C-alpha cells in the first residue's frame, strides 16, 4: 500500500521523516536490517532515486549505517535513537502549544486539557 505523502513538501523529506519515525517508534529496532531502497520505494510508490536521497540523509545523520555487502541497518546507538525520539516529541508538543495559544488557551488551560485527555485515554486502555 502506497504511503500517504503530501504534495506540498519535498517527497524525500517526508520519506526521511517516515523512516525516522518507524525507527524511533520501534518498527525497526537498533541493529535491524532495513528493506532495500527498491523494496521501500515500491512500498511507498516513489522513485528509487528519491528513496535513496532519504536514505543518504538518514545515513548522514548516523541513524542508519551501511555495511557494504549486507545492506543498511539501524544504528545500535540507543542514546541517539532516544535523543531523536525526544526531539521529535518536543517539536510536536511545541507545535501543539502554539496552536492552543492561537485558540486563546493559557498554559494552565492547556495542562488541564492534556490531563483530561490523558485520563480519557487511560480509561480506554483498560
3-state class (DSSP) for residue 37: helix
C-alpha–C-alpha distance, residues 26 and 20, integer Å: 10
Tell me how far apart the 2 most distant CA atoms of the chain are, in Å: 56
From first to last of its 126 residues, the chain has per-residue pLDDT tens of: 578 888 899 999 999 999 999 999 999 999 999 999 999 999 999 999 999 999 999 999 999 999 988 999 999 999 999 999 999 999 999 999 999 999 999 999 999 999 999 998 888 776
Q: Which CATH number fits domain 11-76: 1.10.1040.10, 1.10.10.10, 3.90.1200.10, 3.40.50.510?
A: 1.10.10.10
**Domain boundaries in the chain?**
11-76, 79-125
Q: Do 80 and 42 contact (CB within 8 A), yes or no? A: no
Phi, then psi, of 76 in degrees rounded to 5: -95, 5
- State the pTM of this model: 0.81
SS (H, E, C) 51-77: HHHHHHHHHHHCCEEEECCCEEEECCC
C-alpha–C-alpha distance, residues 97 and 103, integer Å: 10
Q: Do 57 and 18 contact (CB within 8 A), yes or no? A: no
Other Cβ atoms within 10 Å of 52 Cβ, number: 16
Whole-number pLDDT of residue 68: 87
Whole-number pLDDT of residue 126: 66
Phi, then psi, of 30 in degrees rounded to 5: -55, 130
Amino acid at each position: 500500500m502506497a504511503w500517504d505523502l503530501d504534495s506540498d513538501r519535498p517527497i524525500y523529506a517526508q520519506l526521511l521523516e517516515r523512516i525516522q519515525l518507524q525507527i524511533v517508534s520501534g518498527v525497526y529496532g537498533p541493529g535491524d536490517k532495513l528493506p532495500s531502497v527498491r523494496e521501500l520505494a515500491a512500498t511507498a510508490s516513489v522513485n528509487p532515486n528519491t528513496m535513496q536521497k532519504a536514505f543518504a540523509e538518514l545515513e548522514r545523520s548516523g541513524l542508519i549505517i551501511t555495511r557494504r555487502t549486507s545492506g543498511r541497518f539501524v544504528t545500535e546507538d540507543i542514546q541517539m535513537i532516544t535523543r531523536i525520539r525526544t526531539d521529535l516529541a518536543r517539536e510536536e508538543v511545541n507545535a501543539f502549544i502554539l496552536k492552543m495559544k492561537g485558540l486563546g488557551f493559557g498554559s494552565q488551560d492547556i495542562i488541564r486539557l492534556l490531563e483530561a485527555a490523558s485520563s480519557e485515554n487511560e480509561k480506554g486502555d483498560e
